[in-house]
Amino acid sequence: MTYFNKPKKVNWDLKLIKPSYKAKIYFSNSERWQFSSSATVKILGVDQKNSLVTFDFPKREDEEYILDSNIEPNSGYRICTEKFNIVTLPFSYLADVVEELY
């Protein structure tokens, strides 16, 4: 089970998200949001109408343990990543857009 954690603030326009962008996510393997990691994922799909993004969680990059004051306490969105590799999350769970791929 993976808990995706919501950032307190996002420094970019959520309406500009496109497939092939890379975004930073916060997540943990328990409900304890204080023990989170960050990673970069490639956005596979975007549903602008419902404000959702899709990415392949096992293909995450740059994973590192963090102590980040930008995480919203108790905001864990639970997904069984052991069964489902492709994850769909609301825009508000992306911490930052890292880059656009060409």
- What is the Cα–Cα distance from 89 to 17, expressed in whole angstroms? 13
- What is the Cα–Cα distance from 53 to 42, expressed in whole angstroms? 10
pLDDT tens per residue, range 73-97 = 888 889 988 888 999 999 989 988 7
User: pTM for this one?
Assistant: 0.87
CA distances from 80 to 2, 96, 101 (A): 6, 23, 28
pLDDT tens per residue, range 15-70 = 788 898 999 999 998 888 788 899 999 999 999 999 999 999 999 999 998 876 78
Residues contacting residue 67 through CB under 8 Å, at least 6 positions apart? 34
Nearest in space to 87 (alpha carbons), one of 17, 27, 30, 38:
27
Show the tokens assigned to 94: 């992306």
